[in-house]
Structure 1
Amino acid sequence: MNKRFGFSFILALAVTAALSGCKNDTQAPPSQVLARVNGDEITVNQLNYLLASQKTVDDQTKQRALDTLVTQDVLVQKAVEAKLDRDPRVLSSIEFSRRQILAQAMLSKEVGSAPQITDADVQKFYTARPELFEKRNIYILDSYIVPGSAVTDALKKQLDAVHTVQDMRATLQAAGVTFKEAQERTVPEKMPEQLLKIVTPLKAGDVAVMVQNEQAMLLLAEHVEPAPVSLKDATPAIQAYLRQERAAKLAQQKIDDLKKAAKVEYVQQFAAATPQAAPAAEKETPANDNDHIKSGMGLK
């Protein structure tokens, strides 16, 4: 949650407040009341709910949150006066949000507590992914985007003799190949899996070729610098990743079981049914990046 409680967040809160009926119909004990807006009470419980996801809470954070709740109440009261709570689009949004909240609450209940990750689990993952940890490198990669049709067998053979930026430019220019050049300093945890598989074996001066449809990318590993991460330093990131991965799999299994037990009838179907991800699930493991590892290493 943004600690500054920006305006977009305030608006989101205003919509959320509409879900619960906008005004507090029951009077809270005086000790629980933090503010009143036109007689509408803002309570400790509301503040605690807003601050629940904050890692650290000081008096300034509490005051910002309370100010946000006051702004929210002002907006909600005006929305009710304008009868926006009866607008069909607003009602549809409220119903959809209600369904999402209930679905997530049920899923959380079914999944239960976070899966336990053992030291053996961490060690196994660490050993299985040396390119992310024990043999991790920092790369300076020069990329050259060229037409896919230009990557002929003859050009590939010429690229075997390329080891520097100057070699690459001279080779492409001599072959009459147009190209767009870029350079990036990157690390394994920032690479898509497909690219990581190609880059990992490269040594300084090596060239890799990736052809996709009408374009191709030539990658020159200009510099490769070892930057290993120890098991001790990697452990928190690996634990978070494995916990997230297992929770997502368990959530999907629970959903599949519940759907099998339910009587589902498609009155109209637009395409073949596809597996559905858990609604607002504990974010499933990204297929194309390793942000979970990156965050844990403090590299993000």
Structure 2
Amino acid sequence: MQHIKKAYVSLVLAALVTGCGDKKEEAAADKPASQVAAKVNGTELTVHQVNYALQRIPNLDKDQAKPASLQVVRNLVDQELVVQRALEEKLDRDPRVVQAVDSARRQILAEAYMARKLGTPSEPSDGEISEYFNSHPEMFAQRKIYRLQEVSIQAPKEKHDAIRKQLEASKTLNDFLAWLKAENLPAKVGQAVKPAEQLPAAVLPKLAQMPNGQALVANAPNGLLVLVVADSQAQPVTLEQAKPAIARALQAETRQKAAKAELDALKANAKIEYVGEFADAGTETTAAAAQPAAAKAAAPAADADADAISKGISGL
């Protein structure tokens, strides 16, 4: 039931979004007894609230439904107690709470509009799935598990060329790290074992072709990222095994394209003005620069501007 308890924070947020009205008025409304799941200081918690929370629990089977519903009711009661006290202390008028509620409301409305407008993408055909499989051998037929050494470097753009040259000149990674320290360039070093599907699509084709010990340098939000392939092991998957993942990827791609088209249409029919210090926000260059940064927040490893260092480099 751990995954049910994790939904508690979401429930609290949902209550803040919808619960800043007069709870006493809601309690006064007549509801059939069968629709009431619990009462907290006279405020009714409904079966609809319970069902809504249950719908948000992933992979809930029938055997879990009853105990899950009881846990949800307990969570709702706990939530209601906290919300009532928050309202008594007039936290719904706190500027930070008001901003958070408004931000959540805007996000929910935007997602609801897109969900209704775009609907559910159709299932891709077998031909489309096969084409995707064949065009991404590094993810499927030639899939590998990579053991990587990662060096995340904070550096201004004018230092990037020097860093790349020094990496190529360094005999070991320790030599390279010593140079970064001498140049007062902050760097974080880590190691990770990742399958192909957990690596950014922009750099995976290059990583797949790199021998062990070779380094790759890629742009990162605040500088550069160095990836050294310490080791790799082949673990291919068949077309049949890959079909569900490919179908999801193709549907996500279709949805992203449709969402962009819808957003472009909305922009074309809207009057948009960027004011004051934000006047440059609407220019193509700044918009293009902001998009990779947002993408890297989710997968900060690298973008498409990645260079493989031709010679190998010894690890730590």
TM-score (norm: length of structure 2): 0.68
**Aligned residue number for residue 116 of structure 1:** 123
Aligned counterparts of 1:235 and 1:95: Cα–Cα separation in 2:
40
Partner residue of 2:51 out of 45, 48, 58? 48
**Aligned residue number for residue 4 of structure 1:** 5
* CA separation of 1:47 and 1:216: change in aligned 2, threshold 3 A: closer
Partner residue of 2:163 out of 145, 148, 156? 148
**Aligned residue number for residue 259 of structure 1:** 267
Aligned counterparts of 1:141 and 1:85: Cα–Cα separation in 2:
48
Question: How many angstroms does 1:287 deviate by?
Answer: 6.5
Aligned counterparts of 2:211 and 2:117: Cα–Cα separation in 1:
48
Number of residue pairs the alignment of both structures matches: 269
The root-mean-square deviation of aligned C-alpha atoms, in Å, is: 4.1
Q: Which structure has the larger Rg?
A: 1
Aligned counterparts of 2:118 and 2:152: Cα–Cα separation in 1:
46
**Aligned residue number for residue 78 of structure 1:** 85
Partner residue of 1:65 out of 55, 72, 93? 72
In the alignment, is residue 99 of structure 1 matched against residue 106 of structure 2?
A: yes
Aligned counterparts of 2:218 and 2:89: Cα–Cα separation in 1:
57
Q: What's the secondary structure of 1:41's corresponding residue?
A: strand
Identical positions, percent: 30
Alignment-mate amino acid for residue 144 of structure 2: N
In the alignment, is residue 139 of structure 1 matched against residue 146 of structure 2?
A: yes
**Aligned residue number for residue 248 of structure 1:** 256
In the alignment, is residue 127 of structure 1 matched against residue 139 of structure 2?
A: no
Q: What's the secondary structure of 1:127's corresponding residue?
A: helix
Aligned counterparts of 1:15 and 1:79: Cα–Cα separation in 2:
9
In the alignment, is residue 16 of structure 1 matched against residue 23 of structure 2?
A: no
Please, which moves more after superposition, 267-276 or 82-91?
A: 267-276
Q: What's the secondary structure of 1:186's corresponding residue?
A: strand
Aligned counterparts of 2:79 and 2:18: Cα–Cα separation in 1:
8
Alignment-mate amino acid for residue 199 of structure 1: L
**Aligned residue number for residue 279 of structure 2:** 270
Q: What's the secondary structure of 1:151's corresponding residue?
A: helix
Aligned counterparts of 2:21 and 2:141: Cα–Cα separation in 1:
51
The structure whose residues are more often helix, as a share, is: 2
Q: Which runs of 5+ in 2 are unaligned?
A: 154-161, 181-187, 289-294, 302-316
Q: Which runs of 5+ in 1 are unaligned?
A: 160-167, 278-283, 290-300
